[in-house]
Structure 1
Amino acid sequence: MADKRKSAFLLPALVLIPAAWAAAGDYGTVDAVAGDTVAVHTPVPHPEVTWVPEDYITEIGSFKRGDGAPVDTLDIGDGYLQLVLFDDYSWRYIKNMKKVAESDVFTDFWKENVINPYDGVELRDLGYRNSICLVDSLSQFVCPYAGKVYSRFGYRRGRRHQGTDVPLVTGTPVKAAFDGRVRFSGRTSGYGNLVIIRHENGLETFYGHLSRRNVESGDWVRAGDVIGLGGSTGRSTGPHLHFETRYKGYAFDPEWIVDFENGELRANVFVLRRSYLDPSSRYVPGTIDEEDAIYGEDEKIIQEEMRIEAERAAMRWHTVRSGDTLSEIAGKYGKSLSALRRLNPGINADRLRIGQKIRVN
């Protein structure tokens, strides 16, 4: 039988091999000896049939500890997370943004040229309780702007106010509350310069009246990124941040999840009840335990929705006419001035406008 080690050789070359190999077979003409190594003239094997001795074993190697440079990325679980290995022997999880971008959250009802893209989504289609994870080990929260709330969510002078207003100085940086993708960035008559960000949990946050927008539709942002500068564009009486939180197109009081005065998130997981999506529903201060004790059962949630609906149906409004004064309106409906002020927070008795709606019960 022909020796395969020889039949595959094509060209002569000078190579270094262990002395033991040279003694075990014909590897060519010995040219020099240096300790346990010999230099021999031997033909070069063709790359496709290179022969490796049967008893040749590659030793387990290691790499020198480095300064923290990434050396490998591994997919794990469902593909939404990846594991990054670093040369300082450490590791950490990261989000697989390609997978995130392909998820239903960022494909369904995605329109970059409208304020509310959720056409056809009815309130009754949403669950009574919706558990929403706000932060986890890979996602954080940063308060868009910390300060005392000036105007709260709810009806204001007879009109719906779907967010929270926090006064600021024009030019103040406004930050993204959570990781997400910019769905809308543009100018509108009401909001002025507006940025809308959709987040991985399905929530959308609105940042209105900006003096400048730093992001465009389609941009990915991380919590804390400066998405614009505060201002007073659009329908505004002074520089402030108008901040909204919406779920499937329906606004709810941002103070359910954000303590603006302290710049903190109230809880890592938020249970959004369908009753909160009613424009008359405002944040009720209290601990999570107290709130769960009151509204923990679905039957009580339904009752709360019915109560809010009945209260809204019973509301009466007076439309201001020429010559009307607040005291005359109070007398007409058998109310005191202080009662009307409580029903209409922020009302200015000296500056009533014709056509203005004033709640009277």
Structure 2
Amino acid sequence: MKKYLLTLAALSMVFTSTARKPRNARAQAVAETRETAAADSLRAVALRQADLIDSLKNMIYTAGRIAESRPEQKSAPAPVIDPEQAAADSIAALQLRLRPTKIESIFDTNGLTVIDTLTTDNDAVQVILYSDNSWKYIRNREIAKDSTIFEKYWDTTTLFPYREVDMSGMPKSVVIDLVDSLTSYHCPYQGSVHPRGKYGPRRRRQHQGVDLPLKMGDPVYATFCGRVRISQYNKGGYGNLVIIRHDNGLETYYGHLSERMVEPGQWVEAGQIIGLGGSTGRSTGPHLHFETRYYGQSFDPERLIDFKNGTLSRETFLLKKSFFSIYSNAGQDFDDEIANEEQDKQEAAEKAAMKYYKIRSGDTLGAIARRHGTTVANICRLNGIKSTTILRIGRSLRVR
């Protein structure tokens, strides 16, 4: 009996000390529990990301093993190739590549953190893994050295370094690959082209790009992967201007920016934010002036991009010499920007001044004209009718 009493006394002392434990000690214990839970959660996220990395590595490794395991057919005789058939197949393949297709913008990686960079069997190709578990292939720029496209006529200060290029020697058409498994696309800014901001002659001046109305500070994206050739303020009218040269020889221009976010010589990926929309230079309101050029020669960007829907029109582009409808090695002519604004104001004022009258029983053109302080001739001119036209009840006539 004494043994059991001693045991009960010991248990009572333990419970009493626990009950008298200070409140701050209990709070500390709760905090430690929460910290442990948070650490476990972070470990779980890290484990999931590690699993994804391992999965991608396994994909790359498996693909390499399959390629290595394929039996070589060294003993098989080389097939006899018919030159005419090969040419026909080549033309058919080219026609397939040139067919119209809608290519959506690549996913936006701005704001995402690169978790890991994985190698592949090809040292020039890498896999980039982002913090949202998305991934994509890119070129390893340390291995895949830039071609002469980024050396010949490369100038980070002169807007147009192609003045010595003789375009008369250019073939009638050039095949240009726009996207492939490593080269992506992103719409520079999605929106409708301004009705008076299309490519082509405008008030006897040359408009060598398209104008996309936007809000001040809206992000502007690199259309294709490439290297920044120009990032500077241009006094000729472009304002803050970024020019990117791409692997295929094309250059894209981004003008009137409020802010430039890239530097000359910097490599950018399609979809990277290269600046913010603005109204710098010779501009009367916020918009993006966007150009596409080949060896300094401009052509209509809408041949490549459906800006309203934000899609690329095709994977491979047949650039014809005839597309250079405005022959100029010089810059954009922005002198009509003010004239555009004045015309917009005039049209808005005319629209506001328009007045209509709904015909009622017993009305005549003379009575309507006197009532609104105008003439029958003016009403006929505004409505495309004659003074002898029969007036129909309920029809609206423009009287001013």
Bin the TM-score by the shorter chain.
Answer: 0.5 to 0.7
| Equivalent of residue 315 in structure 2, options 261, 268, 273 | 268
Note closer, same or farther for the CA distance 1:153–1:75 as it changes in structure 2 (3 Å cut): same
Tell me, in whole angstroms, the C-alpha distance in 2 between the residues paired with 1:278 and 1:101: 35
Tell me, in whole angstroms, the C-alpha distance in 2 between the residues paired with 1:157 and 1:123: 26
Q: What secondary structure sits across from 2:168 in the alignment? A: helix
Tell me, in whole angstroms, the C-alpha distance in 1 between the residues paired with 2:120 and 2:269: 22
Equivalent positions of 1:260-339 (< 5 A) are: 260-279=307-326
Tell me, in whole angstroms, the C-alpha distance in 2 between the residues paired with 1:92 and 1:265: 19
Tell me, in whole angstroms, the C-alpha distance in 1 between the residues paired with 2:183 and 2:208: 26
Q: 1:125-173 CA deviation, whole Å, 9 max, x = no partner? A: 2111111111111111110111110111111111111100010111111
| CA contact 2:128–2:138 (8 Å) conserved in 1 | no
Equivalent positions of 1:155-304 (< 5 A) are: 155-189=201-235, 190-279=237-326
| Equivalent of residue 135 in structure 1, options 179, 182, 185 | 179
TM-score w.r.t. length of structure 2? 0.50
Tell me, in whole angstroms, the C-alpha distance in 1 between the residues paired with 2:300 and 2:128: 42
Higher helix proportion (structure 1 or 2): 2
Q: What secondary structure sits across from 1:243 in the alignment? A: strand
Give the partner amino acid of 1:259. D
Higher strand proportion (structure 1 or 2): 1
Tell me, in whole angstroms, the C-alpha distance in 2 between the residues paired with 1:232 and 1:251: 22
Give the partner amino acid of 2:125. Q
| CA contact 1:75–1:83 (8 Å) conserved in 2 | no
- Stretches (4+) displaced over 4 A: 69-72, 83-86, 344-347
Q: 1:253-301 CA deviation, whole Å, 9 max, x = no partner? A: 0000000111110101110000101218xxxxxxxxxxxxxxxxxxxxx
TM-score w.r.t. length of structure 1? 0.55
Tell me, in whole angstroms, the C-alpha distance in 2 between the residues paired with 1:186 and 1:82: 32
Structure 1 portions without partners, runs of 5+: 1-64, 281-343, 352-361
The share of aligned pairs that are identical, in percent, is: 49
How many equivalent pairs are there? 218
Higher relative contact order (CA 8 A, sep 6+): 2
Tell me, in whole angstroms, the C-alpha distance in 2 between the residues paired with 1:269 and 1:196: 22
| CA contact 2:128–2:137 (8 Å) conserved in 1 | no
| CA contact 1:165–1:241 (8 Å) conserved in 2 | yes
Q: What secondary structure sits across from 2:142 in the alignment? A: helix
Tell me, in whole angstroms, the C-alpha distance in 1 between the residues paired with 2:295 and 2:147: 16
| CA contact 1:156–1:345 (8 Å) conserved in 2 | no
Q: 1:47-92 CA deviation, whole Å, 9 max, x = no partner? A: xxxxxxxxxxxxxxxxxx954168773564xx7x436699xxxx98
Give the partner amino acid of 1:252. F
CA drift at 1:96: 2.8
Indicate the RMSD between aligned Cα atoms, in angstroms.
Answer: 3.0
Q: What secondary structure sits across from 1:68 in the alignment? A: helix
Note closer, same or farther for the CA distance 1:172–1:275 as it changes in structure 2 (3 Å cut): same
